[in-house]
Amino acid sequence: MQADYVIVGAGSAGCALAFRLSEAGRSVIVIEHGGTDAGPFIQMPGALSYPMNMRRYDWGYATEPEPHLGGRRLACPRGKVIGGSSSINGMVYVRGHARDFDHWAEAGATGWAFADVLPYYQRMENWHDGGRGGDPAWRGRHGPLHVSRGPGDHPFVQAFVEAARQAGYGYTPDYNGERQEGFGPKDATIWQGRRWSAASAYLRPALKRPNCTLVRALARRVTIEAGRATGVEITRRGQVETIRARAEVILAASAINSPKLLMLSGIGPADHLRQHGLPVIADRPGVGANLQDHLEVYVQYASTQPISLYRYWNLPGKAWVGARWLFTRRGPGASNQFEAAGFIRSRAGVAYPDIMFHFLPIAVRYDGTVAAEGHGFQIHTGPMRSKSRGTVRLRAPDPAAPPAIRFNYMSHPDDWEEFRRALRLTREIVAQPAFDPFRGAEIQPGETAQDDAALDAFVREHAESAYHPCGTCRMGRADDHHTVVDPDCRVIGVEALRVADSSIFPRITNGNLNAPSIMTGEKAADHILGRRLPPSNLRPWSHPDWRTAQR
């Protein structure tokens, strides 16, 4: 088999690449180890805790013992299914802050400033405000990716936004528009009551074209001849084959698997490759380095009124929710239940938000276990720009072996101070009068956890990944020895090979990473095709008193 472009990974970026390259008339083969996304566990938004805990849809990765989190191994789910992690994630849609992308450009990713990426966000979106307000001039209305909002009418959700206002924070009708800072409605990749993944938005339409093909196989390595990528070696039905690329090979296999494939192909830190008996084709120490993530905690409260989603947390309740969704695409199953968000600055002198809040009208974990107290609500919170950095390394030269993932969470002392501020600011919001009709006892951290040591212990024992790994094939200047790809996503040291997914992020963005990952696929396609959308002239909002005021 051969095509102009061979893409490894049918995830958020890979699906967008396949769509845009095939739309331009190029032939494309997409290699994906996972299978179909059919079935209610993926398609029903309210069932989001199921697919990320099912080996059928997830690579099943876990971290090495994290030394600063008591030696815990944290789950690191990555989608092994068409649509990739967009098919198993929480469907939260956050572009990131404008200054995130300006930082990328300043760090050497020329052409990836906010003015450059905004037109691609607009091109990919089909935005529906749900009557909850927003910034139409900043949004896209005709793209393949449906972005919508839940009704936001649960009393807990409304109390959360009002409590933030009472605490002195601003309201933003659209954190993906002119102003991110503040509290307001949340966007989600949900359309007509079902998950709208990258597979639904991009891959299925692309596969209807005669020049786009999906191959289910395990990618083993990139084949390289005389310094040029020529194809991808795969295992399919127990046989080893090679799919040839006439033009280029593009890795879009995630921040975990893209660096793994580069190293298996002889591209990475030379000493590490030699340790595993692999030839060194390009010594790039940045491959697998710079690993970043968002770590978060759940601040949980019991409710004095029995109105949380816990009322459905029994067999009859789940059956009713499932049946209503199955036959009408409505009800609690049609929402991910993340219907309000907040972005704040942790202190004066921070130029733009560095803490994010997700609100959920039930006290529950991502693994589906609920708080023993029954009815309650919770706020997910954590710092957005941790200074800790980790690595992805080969465990063995066997392509089927999982990599060694070390996030090195909480290794920087600033992380601890930022988490303490996030916890105390969260408590301040919940203490406002808007929550008086509902606020019961604090389930966790618990009202006795007040001093720094107690809060640090809570974080050490209970912090969880928000599942936003990125940065392991960093984009930057070609003359930087620690850069992996240049601003055109080309792997430095090898011709005809690119990487385009969250692994190329120089630094993690504010919020969830599905939106910037899809944007990366959209924009990388234009770099490959030799065209660019003109930069935007829109100017984002910045707090006028950020130097002297926290809110």
Binding residues for FAD: 81, 89-92
What whole-number distance in Å separates Cα of residue 472 and Cα of residue 390? 9
Both tokens assigned to 551: 């809110």
DSSP H or E stretch at residue 263: helix 254-264
What whole-number distance in Å separates Cα of residue 459 and Cα of residue 427? 15
Give the residue numbers of the binding site. Answer: 81, 89-92
Angle, CA 191 vertex, CA 188 and CA 193 arms, to 5°: 100
Between the two ends of the chain, the Cα-to-Cα distance in Å is 58
Cβ(485)–Cβ(499) below 8 Å: yes
Both tokens assigned to 280: 């060194």
Both tokens assigned to 49: 């805790």
DSSP 199-243: IIIIIHHHHTSTTEEEEE-EEEEEEEETTEEEEEEEEETTEEEEE
List, in sequence order, every beta strand (DSSP E) within 372-455: 376-383, 391-393, 404-406, 439-444
Helix (H, G, I), strand (E, B) or coil at 77: coil
- Torsional class of 493: left (φ above 0), alpha (ψ -120 to 50), beta (otherwise): left
Residues that are catalytic: 468
Helix (H, G, I), strand (E, B) or coil at 284: coil
DSSP H or E stretch at residue 457: helix 452-462
What whole-number distance in Å separates Cα of residue 548 and Cα of residue 210? 59
What whole-number distance in Å separates Cα of residue 262 and Cα of residue 492? 12
